[in-house]
């Protein structure tokens, strides 16, 4: 953490104390919470609330710093090594106690033990970790993933596994962007499932994990997905509701179709041509649902909730942001995997793209639609993302979007003729506008020289336009 100091009130990573308490337990809970999270600092000598700088008496500075250091190292398990320094603000001395993110989580108070002494930081408060959070901290401290853990009392045969491999391969082919990509999908094998952690091999015996249970819908996994349309913002009046109880890969598709059924269909005009479009970008809806299911905390029993209101689509998944992940980092493509086996399975089945690419694409798609920027909310142990629905104003803007069709010499609108390779390229870029030529070649099995040739042709035809810079830009598909 940087050594600069600005007084802006308490937050997830900052706490203020007017003086150094004689009872160190009054701030030790926050020390533990910071170590269990993204780190943080406690500033001694500032009155919380008013942010009035009172300072620490100069004569007591070093004695108090020694006392703080001893209290932290003696009170916490595993041992936490604090970083202390003094800063002058308004001519007064402040003691800054900084705690780095711990690598041996969970951290807890020795006197209370792991169950009653493990704390976490939520917004600007410190609270006791509940059972689910404690379990997640234990797994993270051991560099393990919940979905790769063996599930008790669930048996599996090689016939069952073969059936799952076939089902996942069919799903991958169904979700392929093109015939070329579909032909490049390799059949799934038992060894691949083992390498992903969907199965564990022990003495020639196959042991299923929680990921296997979720992919085959067994032992109560995955929890149902709750979908609803509400008439009012307070959720008091239902217009429609549905629970989706199915294997996790089917939950994605069924929830996606539910949303498409309930949102409005409009039209975009390209000269005399009409293109029917949904009021929200379909790829963003699908990506958001898939991310909610693959990255949620399955130690929490609650359901993923998909709620449609008059002004927004709201997707809520159990589990706060993981350590080191922020809203801004998510927008830039930073991602941490909570369920590694499921992430591998979803990537194979073409339900998600490269890890971390989903949110930048969602933000870009909404921007291209002329919609308000999506909202990411991390609250009370859950993560919520809002996609804001189109309004009359944004609808008018969408209709005015510059998508001028190609014309002949008389000015008459002419349909653009595309060959199979051109359609494959456009299909890929519609779903991944920031795709590079190397990525397109890899995904479609076309050679790099072929990609370059036809992308130049597509730009000449007016079907493809580059927006932004060479490094940070993206492609806009004009025709398909």
Q: What is the DSSP string of 256-307?
A: HHHHHHHS-EEEEEETTEEEEEESS-HHHHHHHHHHHHHHS-TTS-PPPEEE
* Same domain assignment for residues 198 and 231: no
* Same domain assignment for residues 373 and 249: yes
Distance CA(137)–CA(111), nearest Å, equals 19
In CATH, what number is assigned to the domain containing residue 444?
Answer: 1.10.10.10
Q: Does residue 312 contact residue 387 with C-beta atoms inside 8 Å? A: yes
* Same domain assignment for residues 232 and 151: no
Distance CA(37)–CA(429), nearest Å, equals 38
Identify the pLDDT of residue 468. Answer: 67
Q: Does residue 343 fall inside a structural domain?
A: yes
* Same domain assignment for residues 115 and 255: no
Q: How far is CA 430 from CA 134, 196, 282, 286, in A?
A: 42, 29, 11, 14
Which are the contacts of 393, defined by CB distance < 8 A and separation ≥ 6? none
Q: Does residue 381 fall inside a structural domain?
A: yes
Q: Does residue 404 fall inside a structural domain?
A: no
* Same domain assignment for residues 101 and 195: no
* Same domain assignment for residues 251 and 319: yes
- Beginning with the edge strand found earlier in the chain, give each strand of the sheet holding 238-244 in spatial order: 238-244, 225-230, 305-308, 312-318, 382-388, 375-379
Residue 391: closest CA among 366, 374, 373, 370: 370
Question: What's the domain range around 159?
Answer: 147-216
User: ∠157-160-163 over CA atoms, to 5°?
Assistant: 150
Identify the domain boundary among 216, 237, 262: 216
Q: Does residue 227 contact residue 253 with C-beta atoms inside 8 Å? A: no
In terms of Cβ atoms closer than 10 Å to its own Cβ (0-12, 13-18, 19+), residue 160 is: middle
Identify the pLDDT of residue 324. Answer: 78
The H or E element that residue 179 is part of is helix 179-183
Distance CA(346)–CA(250), nearest Å, equals 11
Q: Does residue 226 contact residue 306 with C-beta atoms inside 8 Å? A: yes
In CATH, what number is assigned to the domain containing residue 107?
Answer: 3.30.950.30
Among positive and negative, which fits the CA dihedral 322, 324, 325, 326? Answer: positive
Q: Does residue 23 fall inside a structural domain?
A: yes
Number of domains in the chain: 4
In CATH, what number is assigned to the domain containing residue 244?
Answer: 3.30.565.60
* Same domain assignment for residues 251 and 363: yes
* Same domain assignment for residues 330 and 376: yes
Query: Mean pLDDT per segment of 10 residues, for the chain of length 480 residues?
Result: 56 89 93 94 89 92 95 96 93 94 94 95 84 91 94 93 96 90 91 97 92 97 96 85 97 96 76 72 94 94 94 93 81 84 95 74 89 86 89 46 38 58 80 82 79 87 77 68
Identify the pLDDT of residue 470. Answer: 64
Strand, helix or coil at 436?
Answer: coil
* Same domain assignment for residues 234 and 374: yes
* Same domain assignment for residues 362 and 247: yes
Q: Does residue 176 fall inside a structural domain?
A: yes
Identify the pLDDT of residue 369. Answer: 85
Identify the pLDDT of residue 117. Answer: 96
Identify the pLDDT of residue 224. Answer: 97
Identify the domain boundary among 366, 399, 432: 399
Residue 320: closest CA among 301, 295, 340: 295
Q: Does residue 68 contact residue 85 with C-beta atoms inside 8 Å? A: no
* Same domain assignment for residues 433 and 394: no
Identify the domain boundary among 95, 125, 144: 144
Q: Does residue 8 fall inside a structural domain?
A: no
Q: Does residue 5 fall inside a structural domain?
A: no
Residue 290: closest CA among 369, 348, 374, 216: 348
What is the pairing mode between strands 474-477 and 464-467? antiparallel
Q: Does residue 305 fall inside a structural domain?
A: yes
Residue for token pair 């930081």:
121
Tell me the whole-structure pTM to 2 decimals.
Answer: 0.74
* Same domain assignment for residues 269 and 207: no
Distance CA(439)–CA(425), nearest Å, equals 11
Give the residues across from 33 on adjacent strands: none
Identify the pLDDT of residue 393. Answer: 46
* Burial state string for 384-395 with b = 16 or more CB within 10 A and e = fewer than 16: bbbbbbbeeebb
Distance of CA 383 to the CA centre of its chain: 9
């Amino acid at each position: 953490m940087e050594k600069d100091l600005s007084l802006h009130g308490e937050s997830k990573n900052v706490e203020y104390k007017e003086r150094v308490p004689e009872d160190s337990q009054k701030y030790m809970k926050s020390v533990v919470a910071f170590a269990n999270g993204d780190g943080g600092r406690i500033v001694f000598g500032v009155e919380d609330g008013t942010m009035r700088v009172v300072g620490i008496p100069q004569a007591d500075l070093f004695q108090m710093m020694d006392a703080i250091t001893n209290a932290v190292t003696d009170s916490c398990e595993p041992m936490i090594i604090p970083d202390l320094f003094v800063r002058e603000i308004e001519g007064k001395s402040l003691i800054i106690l900084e705690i780095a993110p711990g690598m041996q989580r969970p951290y807890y108070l020795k006197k209370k033990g792991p169950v009653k002494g493990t704390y976490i930081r939520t917004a600007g408060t410190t609270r006791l970790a509940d059972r689910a959070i404690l379990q997640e901290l234990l797994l993270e401290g051991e560099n393990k993933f919940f979905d790769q853990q063996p599930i008790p009392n669930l048996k599996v045969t090689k016939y069952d596994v073969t059936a799952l491999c076939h089902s996942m391969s069919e799903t991958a082919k169904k979700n392929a962007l093109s015939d070329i990509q579909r032909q490049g999908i390799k059949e799934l094998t038992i060894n691949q499932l083992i390498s992903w952690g969907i199965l564990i091999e022990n003495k020639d015996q196959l042991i299923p994990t929680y990921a296997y249970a979720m992919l085959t819908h067994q032992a109560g996994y995955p929890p149902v997905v709750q979908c609803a349309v509400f008439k009012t913002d307070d959720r008091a009046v239902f217009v429609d509701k549905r629970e989706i109880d199915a294997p996790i890969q089917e939950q994605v598709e069924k929830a996606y179709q539910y949303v498409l059924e309930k949102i409005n269909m409009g039209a975009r005009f390209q000269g005399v041509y009409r293109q029917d479009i949904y009021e929200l970008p379909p790829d963003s809806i699908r990506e958001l649902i898939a991310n909610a299911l693959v990255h949620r905390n399955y130690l929490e029993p609650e359901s993923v909730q998909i709620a449609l209101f008059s002004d927004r689509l709201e997707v809520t998944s159990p589990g706060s942001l993981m350590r080191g992940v922020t809203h801004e980092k998510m927008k830039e493509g930073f991602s941490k995997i909570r369920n590694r086996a499921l992430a591998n399975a979803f990537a194979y089945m073409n339900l998600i793209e490269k890890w971390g690419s989903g949110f930048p694409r969602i933000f870009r798609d909404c921007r291209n639609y002329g919609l308000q920027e999506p909202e990411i909310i991390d609250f009370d142990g859950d993560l919520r993302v809002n996609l804001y629905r189109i309004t009359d104003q944004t609808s008018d803007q969408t209709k005015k979007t510059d998508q001028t069709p190609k014309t002949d010499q008389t000015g008459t609108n002419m349909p653009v003729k595309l060959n199979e390779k051109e359609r494959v390229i456009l299909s890929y870029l519609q779903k991944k506008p920031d795709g590079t030529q190397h990525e397109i070649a890899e995904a479609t099995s076309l050679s790099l020289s072929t990609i370059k040739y036809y992308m130049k042709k597509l730009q000449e035809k007016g079907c493809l336009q580059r927006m932004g810079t060479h490094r940070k830009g993206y492609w806009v598909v004009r025709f398909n």
